[in-house]
Each structure stands twice: as structure tokens, then as C-alpha cells.
């Protein structure tokens, strides 16, 4: 009897179940409200449970994790929806699709920027990197994220005073004769102020680190890794290396030591390079005082040159930048640059010397006029002519590549962040390098492996490149030789349309990940590859595209020749050998 009832019950339940799910019943207002509220509560409860589970007992992490996911998930799903919509219902033409995407970017770029500024920390760092990559970010995001290079909101001058006095245990007035409470720049981990030392009146820059930034970096990395796993999983191996690289940036005492070491290594060998020296006894974990360089940021000088070029063509700067970006993304800029003639470094230097001589002569006559005619005839004085800062593209690219190749391969200690904002064109014609927070050391065995890869990329076969890159630690799921060779090329040779087969570097990199999932990059080489990528990007904008391997090959050969008699076992990181000097 019980079995009969049990078997008979589903019929009644099945009937009631389908009745409850009928279209007519669902659209009843009361049931619809209950359904919506219940679904929302369950979703919210699940989101809160997931956030608490991922965050552990740290309430600050719970708050930041909740803020990020609640703001960025809707943005991600909106983009995914649009992508799926175009897959199901393709647009009539590319112009119509581009217009939809452009409107979507315009809708969310301010929103995403506000999320970044609210979260600060690693979010700003990623935004800064993205703002220099037109092959990754759409134009509306590039324009908004450019604020992150030098427009990050800073703390007050009073906050800076408290940090300095706490670091050195003295009133500010006992340390500096002058101190500008307005920061000259603010970035991911801190801000910088101009000052003059007490006694010597020497012009210096005071870097102040935000004490909470190290903790925030640690809180946010796990959240971002999960978002990247959802949105762009092929970037996870790179992000893991990125996380390791930025753990070393939070102690200014380390940066002061790096400034001393790299300055001692580089400036005697390269007289046209200036690296600011830290002031002895004025570096702590959170505050660093160093020499001030007198010049213009390369990124600002490039903007001035671009404005002049735009004016010559009868265009606005924005129109010129848009045209350059379109050419860059299509590969046309690279093709034009290879055909276009650019004056040699010698010709540019000769021209610059002539102009400086003429300006000096003019200033002499202005001095005589201001101190003779003006007092006698009561005339207005004439302003002196400011010294021009000349951009010598060949010299900049060649010198920067030579300097950084020497740091990486010969010295084994290098600055991994030579973007245009960290490069100065000094008034004396030299090039200044600043911001040595991301300094990495490479052991001699790793340097020898990298040097051998550089030579193979210029002279070796594909099979040799693949075999050596695998020996360095490159891993993909199926160990596809084509993918591994392309990864080595993009990292340490070129990322032009020829190597990327007509695609921009970002899309080509994603296609490699889809062809054969990237499991692991060679450990310890990410920052060296980043140096090459940054300098190649600078060369492209200066219309001097180049191969990192070809630029670094002479120094790579020098290192290999120095250790040509060393046993091959050294390449397995087993034999410690002192750094050659």
C-alpha cells in the first residue's frame, strides 16, 4: 500500500509543479515580485558568502573585495553580453559594430576609472601600465587612464610633513630650508615633493610612501587574480610574475641602495647618463631624499613635439594622436617608420650644438642690453632665451638599450621600469633616469642563459630557439614549438606586424594562448622582458622600430666571450661565480 501511494504521488506533484510554472502564473504580479525578491536575496547571499570565504577574517579585505566585485562584475557581464550578441546577430558592417563598442567604452570608462581611484594601490599600477598600451585598451579608456600617470590624487602637505618628521625624528625646518607642500607628482605607492637641504641649499626631491599601500597590495592581488582568471585567463602566468616583481618596491632603503649601485656601475661608463644619488643618511623605509634632476620628462617633451607636428599638418593634437594610434594598431606606423628617413644621431647633435651656440650669443647681447640700454633709456628688459631640449631619437633609443642591456647582462642589477615618465631630457643635453623602485637582480647563470637566447634570436634557427627557451623554463600545455618560438620573439626580440602576423601584440598573444595554453614563463626573466617591451614601444612612437635582440646582441656576445671557458653546468644554476667588473 505504501509503495502504491509513493508511486502515485508524483503524478499529483508533477501536475501541481507544471501548473506553478505556467506562463500565466509566473506573470502574476505577486508571484513575480516574490520570485524577483527571492532570486535577488539568494544571489546576494551567495555573493556575500563567497566574499567572506575568499577574504577570511580580514574585514578590510571583505570590504575591498565586495566593492570591487559589486562594481566590476556588472561591467564584465555587460561586455560579455555584447560580445555574445554580436556572435549571434552580427552587425551589418564593421563601422556599426565599432560604434556600439565605442559607445560602450564611453559609458564605462569614467566608471572604471573611479573604481581604480577608490581602490588605489595595485589597481592604479595596472591602470598606469594599461595607459601606455594602445594595443590593449580602447581610446576612451586610454584617455581617462592617462590621468593615472601624473594625476593621481595626493595626500596633503601636512600629511607629508608628519611622515617626514616621523621618519627622521626632527622638525621639518631642521631638515630643509625650503619645502614645497604641493607634490610635484603622485603615483601608486607615494608622492614626491621639491625641497632644499638645510645648510647646503641643495635642490632635492623627497619621496614619501603611503604606509598603507603595502597592506593594500597584499589584500588586492588575490581579488584581481580571480577576476583575471574569469576575464582573461591567458594572462595569469604573467600576473603571477607581476605580483612577485612588485613585492620589492615597498622599502625605500632598497631603492636608495639601488640608486647608489646602478649609478656607480653606469655613470662612469656612460657619461651622457645621469642617475640621481640618494642623500646620505636621509633614506628610511617610507621616505627617500635624492638629488633633483633639472630637465623635462621625455613623455612631456614628446607631447610638445607631437603638438608641433600636428600644427604643421593643420590638425589638432587629439586628431594627430588618433591618427597615430590607428596607424600603430594597424601596423602602418611600423611600415612607415622602416621606410622613412630619420637624421642620424651625429646630425641631430651637430644641429643642436649650432642652435645652442646661437642662443648663447643672443643671451650675451640681451645681457649687455639689459644692463646698459635699459637703465639709461628706461626701457623694458628683454627675457633671456631658454635653452632648447632637443629630442635625438637615434641617440635616445641606442643609448637606453645599451645602458639597460649592460645593467641586465653585465652588472646583473637593473631598473625594470624605464617608461617615458621615468626618463628625463636634461638641460645639459644628458639623459636622466629616475624611479628605481622596481630593481631586480639576475644571477650570472640566468644572465648567461638570457645572453644565449639573445644570440639565438638574431642568428639561430627556430629549433634552437625553442629548445633553449624550454631549457629556461617556458611551458605550454602541449609544448607547441610554434607557440614557444613566438613567445620568445615577443619577449626578447620584436612584437611588430611581421612577428604577430598582422595582428596587434595583445590579440596575437591571446591567440597563442588559445592555440596552446601558456602554463609558465621562464622564472626570473619577466622584468628583463618588460624592459625590452617598454623600449620597443618608445622606439615605435619615435618612429624607430627595432629588435631588442639586435640591440642587445653586442653586449650578450661580450658576456658569453668573458665566460666562454666556463663549463656548461653553469647554465643549470649550480656553479656560483662572482659578477665580472
Residue-wise pLDDT tens digits, 240-269:
777 777 777 788 999 999 999 999 999 999
Backbone angles phi, psi at 295, to 5 degrees: 180, -165
pLDDT of 38 reads 57
Per the domain annotation, does 174 fall within a domain? yes
User: In this prediction, what percent of the chain has a pLDDT beyond 70?
Assistant: 78
| 515/414 same-domain check | yes
Residue after which a domain boundary falls, among 264, 292, 320: 292
Do 442 and 466 belong to one domain? yes
The reported pLDDT for the residue numbered 356 is 64
Residue showing cell 532570486? 39
- As a whole number of angstroms, the distance between CA 497 and CA 528 comes to 22
Would you say residue 460 lies in a domain? yes
**pLDDT of amino acid 4:** 43
**Residue whose C-alpha is closest to residue 69's, from 91, 53, 89:** 53
pTM, full prediction: 0.74
Sign of CA dihedral 66, 70, 75, 77: positive
For the chain, state the CA radius of gyration. Answer: 29
Query: How many angstroms separate the Cα of 96 from the Cα of each of 78, 93, 329, 559?
Result: 18, 6, 19, 54
Q: What pLDDT is recorded for position 239?
A: 78
Q: Cell triple for residue 222?
A: 588575490
Pairing of strands 273-274, 431-433: parallel
Residues 125 and 189 in one domain: no
Q: Please say if the pLDDT value at position 27 is more than 50.
A: no
Residues 145 and 161 in one domain: no
Residues contacting 18, CB < 8 A, separation 6+: none
How far is 137 from 319, CA to CA, in rounded Å? 18
For position 355, what pLDDT does the model report? Answer: 61
Question: Does residue 240 fall inside a structural domain?
Answer: no
Residue positions counted in the chain: 581
Q: What angle is formed at CA 222 by the lines to CA 221 and CA 228, rounded to 5 degrees?
A: 85
SS3 readout for 196-255: EECCCCCEEEEEEECCCHHHHHHHHHHHHHHHHHHHCHHHHHHHHHHHHHHHHCCCHHHH
pLDDT band at 118 (very low <50, low <70, confident <90, very high): confident
Q: What is the pLDDT of residue 572?
A: 53
**DSSP assignments along 3-17, one per residue:** HHHHHHHHHHHHHHH
The tens digit of pLDDT for each residue in 162-212 reads: 999 999 999 999 999 999 999 887 777 888 999 999 989 999 999 998 877
The boundaries of the domain holding residue 275 are: 157-209+251-292
**195 lies in some domain:** yes
**Half-sphere exposure (CA, 13 Å, Cβ side) for 262?**
33
Residue 500 is given by DSSP the state: T
Lowest mean per-residue pLDDT among 36-50, 343-357, 562-576: 36-50
pLDDT value at residue 579: 40
Residue ending a domain, among 149, 166, 185, is 149
Residue 300: pLDDT above 60?
A: yes
Residue 490 lies in a domain: yes
Residues near 567 by Cβ (< 8 Å), separated by ≥ 6?
575
Residue 7 has pLDDT above 50, yes or no: no
Identify which has the larger pLDDT, 306 or 523. 523
Instruction: Render pLDDT for 403-422 as a digit per residue (tens, 0 to 9).
Output: 999 999 999 999 988 887 78
Residues 120 and 183 in one domain: no
Among 248, 260, 166, smallest CA distance to 208 is for 166
Same domain, 483 and 532: yes
Question: Which pLDDT belongs to residue 6?
Answer: 33
Number of H helices and number of E strands within the chain? 25, 14
Contact 235, 136 (CB under 8 A): no
More confident residue, 517 or 27: 517
Q: Tell me: do 164 and 268 sit in the same domain.
A: yes
Angle, alpha carbons 431-433-435 (nearest 5°): 160
pLDDT tens sequence across 522-560: 888 988 998 998 898 888 777 778 899 999 999 999 999
Domain boundary among 240, 261, 292: 292
The whole-angstrom separation of Cα 206 and Cα 216 is: 23
Say how far apart CA 301 and CA 319 lie, in whole Å. 18
Same domain, 42 and 134: yes
Domain contains 322: no
Task: Kindly state whether residue 223 falls inside one of the protein's structural domains.
Answer: no
Domain count, the chain: 3
Q: What CATH number did the domain enclosing 286 receive? A: 3.30.200
Residue 384 domain flag: no
* Domain shared by 46 and 162, yes or no: no
- My answer on whether 95 and 189 are in the same domain is no
Query: Which of 102-106, 174-178, 255-259, 507-511 has the weakest average pLDDT?
Result: 507-511
pLDDT attached to residue 352: 58
Q: What are phi and psi of 256, to 5 degrees?
A: -60, -45
List, for residues 432-487, the tens digit of each pLDDT value. Answer: 999 898 899 999 999 999 999 999 999 999 999 999 999 999 999 999 999 999 99
- Mean pLDDT of the chain, nearest integer: 79
* 3-class secondary-structure state, position 128: helix
Q: Cα-flanking dihedrals φ and ψ of residue 102, to 5°? A: -60, -45
Over residues 75-98, mean pLDDT: 87
CA distance 132 to 537: 9
> Which grid cell is 126?
595596472
Q: How confident is the model at residue 320 (pLDDT cuts 50, 70, 90)?
A: confident
Region 48-76: mean pLDDT is: 71
Phi, psi of 210 (to 5 degrees): -75, 120
pLDDT tops 90 at residue 375: no
> What local confidence, expressed as pLDDT, does residue 23 receive?
41
Q: Are 563 and 569 in contact (CB under 8 A)?
A: no
- The helix/strand/coil state of 105 is helix
* Virtual torsion, Cα 249, 222, 63, 210, nearest 10 deg: 0
The mean pLDDT of 55-84, rounded to a whole number, is 81
Residue 556 and residue 428 share a domain: yes
On whether both 404 and 488 belong to a single domain, the answer is yes
How would you label 115-141 residue by residue, b for 16+ Cβ within 10 Å and e otherwise? Answer: bbbebbbbbbbbbbbbbbebbbbebbb
Nearest CA to 291 out of 280, 281, 277 is that of 277
What pLDDT score was predicted for residue 571? 52
Distance CA 54, CA 65 (A): 9
Amino acid at each position: 500500500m505504501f509503495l502504491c501511494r509513493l508511486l502515485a504521488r508524483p503524478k499529483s506533484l508533477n501536475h501541481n509543479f507544471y501548473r506553478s510554472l505556467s506562463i500565466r502564473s509566473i506573470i502574476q504580479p505577486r508571484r513575480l515580485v516574490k520570485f524577483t525578491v527571492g532570486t535577488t536575496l539568494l544571489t546576494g547571499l551567495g555573493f556575500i558568502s563567497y566574499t567572506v570565504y575568499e577574504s577570511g577574517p580580514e574585514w578590510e579585505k571583505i570590504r575591498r573585495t565586495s566593492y570591487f566585485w559589486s562594481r566590476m562584475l556588472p561591467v564584465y557581464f555587460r561586455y560579455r553580453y555584447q560580445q555574445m550578441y554580436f556572435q549571434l546577430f552580427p552587425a551589418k558592417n564593421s563601422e556599426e559594430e565599432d560604434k556600439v563598442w565605442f559607445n560602450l567604452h564611453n559609458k564605462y570608462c569614467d566608471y572604471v576609472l573611479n573604481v581604480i581611484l577608490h581602490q588605489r594601490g595595485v589597481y592604479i599600477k595596472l591602470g598606469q601600465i594599461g595607459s601606455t598600451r594602445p594595443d590593449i585598451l580602447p581610446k576612451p579608456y586610454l584617455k581617462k587612464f592617462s590621468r593615472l600617470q601624473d594625476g593621481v590624487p595626493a595626500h596633503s602637505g601636512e600629511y607629508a610633513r608628519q611622515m617626514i618628521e616621523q621618519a627622521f625624528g626632527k622638525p621639518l625646518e631642521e631638515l630643509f630650508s625650503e619645502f614645497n607642500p604641493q607634490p610635484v607628482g603622485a603615483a601608486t605607492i607615494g608622492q614626491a615633493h621639491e625641497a632644499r637641504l638645510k645648510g647646503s641649499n641643495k635642490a632635492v626631491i623627497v619621496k614619501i610612501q603611503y604606509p598603507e599601500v603595502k597592506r593594500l597590495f597584499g589584500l588586492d592581488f588575490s581579488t584581481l587574480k580571480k577576476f583575471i582568471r574569469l576575464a582573461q585567463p591567458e594572462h595569469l602566468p604573467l600576473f603571477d610574475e607581476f605580483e612577485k616583481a612588485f613585492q620589492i618596491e615597498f622599502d625605500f632603503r632598497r631603492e636608495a641602495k639601488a640608486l647608489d649601485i646602478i649609478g656607480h656601475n653606469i655613470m662612469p661608463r656612460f657619461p651622457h647618463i645621469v642617475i640621481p644619488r640618494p642623500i646620505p643618511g636621509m633614506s628610511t623605509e617610507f621616505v627617500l631624499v635624492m638629488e633633483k634632476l633639472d630637465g623635462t620628462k621625455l613623455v612631456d617633451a614628446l607631447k610638445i613635439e607631437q603638438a608641433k607636428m600636428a600644427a604643421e599638418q593643420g590638425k589638432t593634437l587629439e586628431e594627430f594622436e588618433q591618427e597615430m594610434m590607428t596607424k600603430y594598431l594597424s601596423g602602418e606606423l611600423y611600415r612607415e617608420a622602416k621606410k622613412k628617413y630619420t637624421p642620424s644621431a651625429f646630425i641631430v647633435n651637430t644641429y643642436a650644438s649650432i642652435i645652442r651656440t646661437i642662443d648663447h650669443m643672443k643671451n650675451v647681447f640681451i645681457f649687455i642690453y639689459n644692463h646698459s640700454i635699459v637703465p639709461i633709456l628706461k626701457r623694458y628688459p628683454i627675457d633671456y632665451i631658454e635653452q632648447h631640449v632637443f629630442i635625438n631619437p637615434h641617440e635616445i633609443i641606442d643609448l637606453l638599450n645599451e645602458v639597460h642591456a649592460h645593467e641586465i647582462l653585465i652588472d646583473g642589477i637593473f631598473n625594470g621600469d624605464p617608461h617615458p615618465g621615468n626618463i628625463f631630457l636634461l638641460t645639459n643635453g644628458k639623459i636622466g633616469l629616475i624611479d628605481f623602485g622596481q630593481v631586480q637582480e639576475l644571477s650570472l647563470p640566468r644572465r648567461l642563459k638570457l645572453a644565449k637566447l639573445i644570440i639565438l634570436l638574431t642568428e639561430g634557427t627556430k629549433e634552437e630557439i625553442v629548445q633553449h627557451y624550454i631549457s629556461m623554463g617556458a611551458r605550454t600545455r602541449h609544448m607547441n614549438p610554434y607557440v614557444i618560438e613566438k613567445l620568445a620573439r615577443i619577449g626578447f626580440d620584436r612584437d611588430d606586424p611581421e612577428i604577430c602576423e598582422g595582428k596587434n601584440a595583445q590579440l596575437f598573444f591571446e591567440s597563442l594562448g588559445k592555440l596552446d595554453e601558456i602554463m609558465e614563463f621562464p622564472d626570473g626573466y619577466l622584468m628583463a622582458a618588460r624592459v625590452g617591451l617598454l623600449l620597443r614601444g618608445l622606439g615605435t612612437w619615435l618612429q624607430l622600430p627595432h629588435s631588442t635582440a639586435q640591440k642587445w646582441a653586442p653586449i650578450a656576445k661580450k658576456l658569453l666571450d668573458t665566460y666562454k671557458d666556463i663549463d656548461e653546468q653553469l647554465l643549470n644554476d649550480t656553479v656560483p661565480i662572482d659578477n665580472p667588473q
